[in-house]
Amino acid sequence: MSRKNLTVAGIFTAALTVLLLTFALRPEAGGTLRQASVPDPSQEKAIKKTTLVQDVTATDKLNRIDVNRHLSTLLADMHHASPEDISAYANSLQQGHGHITLLMLVDFRTRKTTTYKSSLPEGTDQENKQLLHYLNTAKSAIKGHQSYESPSFIIGGKKYYFVAQRNREGQIAVIALINQKILDRVALHQLKNLRLIPYPKEGKYRIESIHADTLKDITVKTGHDNENASHYYENEIVVRFPNGHPTAAQLQTIAADIRCKEPRKLGYAYIFRSDKMSYSQLKTYFAKKWHPLYAEPHYMYLTNDAVSENTGANVITPNDLLFSTYQWNLPAIETPQGWNLSRGSKEVIIAVVDTGVQANHPDLKGQLLKGYNAITSGSTPDDDVGHGTHVAGIIGALTNNEEGVAGISWYNKILPVKALDNSGAGTTYSVAEGIIWAADQGAKVINLSLGNYADSQFLHDAIKYAYDRDVVIVSASGNDNTERPGYPAAYEEVIAVAATNAAGERASFSNYGDYIDVAAPGESIASTYPDNQYAALSGTSMASPHVAALAGLVRSLNPALTNKEVTALLTSSAIDLGTTGHDKYYGWGQVDIYRTLQAAGGGQVPLQLFPQQVGKQLDSIQ
């Protein structure tokens, strides 16, 4: 036998052995496989309402814990501080935490009380009476060397509570009145995010809606209608011309014909906004006169915020305030064990294309790069919704800093890209621009916690652009409890993520289908939120950044892996939760950070990827 034939035979034998080992060693789900159930629309609405209440309740607990920690720190720092330093710290605390409406410092040594922001909110006589009752109860508690926390109460339509503490030496005490506006904000956020209300409202953005299959007009009257609807701008169209780019003279002709200003251009496509034509009229015009490669609506994209055998690794338990009690999601995917293998690298950038990120959040300090605003040119990518800040915290909130929550990645830098506006909605153009910009800035992973049910060639072009530049692209599947494919999650270049709950079961709101690749935790996930606060949110938007962060850890550990190889590692190392193998509810299963990083190795060819390496070797000797 010739040397070449011997080599080929040896490679095939090795490939067959590895394939058999790969399937033989594929993880089981603890001996039992979970069968997903799909609630009907009435059940779905009731379950989503329960999820919303759960998120608001958890957010209340998170922020009470966070406020108590800040007050404890204030008391500890006051013990030997000068009055000037105390005043400076108190003012700084209130400026950075706008929900602290009133701060009262009591010095029992001098019998002096100093009040910051001394005006109390006013309501009805009954409400004012209740407020004074809780304030007096707080004062009585600290006189008796006790801490105090009142129940929530309403003043002028807003929710508040009092909290009071006295220091260990008993010399100084603090009473604070806390505005709980975050609870209303989270409730409204989740009404939209879980599609419990029509979103966005018809007419608010001069938009229309179409059925994602038939492209016929549809009116969204209930939250459940979103599963069939894709929203678009009624007087705009996205066009890609057959011969590249039109000339200046041709653009002038188009402008005169449809009465429009200069179109926006991104990549190969143009967006025209007409002052006199509807989308259907524009489509007819371009089809007859310009014969485009494609002409499609300018779609809107909405936020999608709806047990292991590996015991050998040491479990790292970070000291972040909310980790042990509220971050069930990280141990569920073996994050603490995985930190023994990789905690990320500042060289591997993870882009968050979303509503922006709060740049000065104390739990994101030093984690963010200078980002980009695709909504308002030249502006910083500040978060005016909360969604992007929450997503960013899941990926990379500072870990082991005794503050708030722990992020999955300790060291990967986050690149914030604002592609969704202050309503939480964006357009094909803004999302595509954000993706392309992030890829051009060197992002190695892009998280897209957003979606629509219409297949846009324009958006797909942007996805391909990033994928061709070796970017791992991760997207949320959606929160409509539907099998309808959502985009960009359903594109073959994208890792589509479904959501699971703390029991390792399919989250009731999570979309499903054959396009799902993996699942990740997505119910009541604690993370960073604007105004230096923390919130618990549910949605596939929360599941997706778990997977994006894992991709960042993998690429940090083994930079030689391509985006295709990273995807193969994530899916092959997942814990199977549904029917054996791939299924439409969990994909290949729930991601497992420790197993995946074990497989990724450090410069070695992972077992799961050996068949691809065999193919490369075969090609090289032919």
Q: DSSP letters of 4-35?
A: HHHHHHHHHHHHHHHHHHHHHTPPPSTT--PP
Q: What is the DSSP letter of 583?
A: B
Alpha-carbon distance of 192 to 428, in angstroms, equals 19
Alpha-carbon distance of 450 to 462, in angstroms, equals 15
At 113 the three-state DSSP class reads strand
Written as one letter, the residue type at 359 is A
Written as one letter, the residue type at 292 is P
Nearest alpha-carbon partner for 485 in 476, 388, 372: 476
Q: What angle do CA 579, 584, 590 make, to 5 degrees?
A: 70
* Active-site residue list: 354, 387, 541
At 111 the three-state DSSP class reads coil
At 376 the three-state DSSP class reads coil
Can you read off the two tokens belonging to residue 378? 């030249």
Alpha carbon of residue 460 to chain centroid: 21
Residue 59 has φ and ψ, to the nearest 5°, of -60, -40
Residue with tokens 């972040």: 320
Q: DSSP letters of 156-177?
A: TTEEEEEEEEE-TTSSEEEEEE
Alpha-carbon distance of 113 to 125, in angstroms, equals 26
Torsion of CA 339, 342, 346, 347, to 10 degrees: -170
- Asked whether the beta carbons of 345 and 556 are under 8 A apart, the reply is yes
Q: Give 455's Cβ-side CA count (13 Å radius).
A: 8
Alpha-carbon distance of 383 to 418, in angstroms, equals 8
Q: Is cis: bond before 488, omega within 30 of 0?
A: yes
515 to each of 26, 490, 494, 497, 586, how far by Cα in Å? Answer: 21, 6, 10, 9, 10
Q: What is the DSSP letter of 36?
A: P
Nearest alpha-carbon partner for 398 in 471, 322, 337, 340: 322
Residue with tokens 């006790």: 146
32 to each of 164, 171, 522, 611, how far by Cα in Å? Answer: 48, 58, 21, 29
Alpha-carbon distance of 309 to 326, in angstroms, equals 24
- Asked whether the beta carbons of 586 and 559 are under 8 A apart, the reply is no
**Residue 539: which residues within 8 A CB-CB, separation 6 or more?**
190, 193, 194, 303, 304, 305, 306, 449, 476, 479, 499, 509, 522
Residue 164 has φ and ψ, to the nearest 5°, of -140, 140
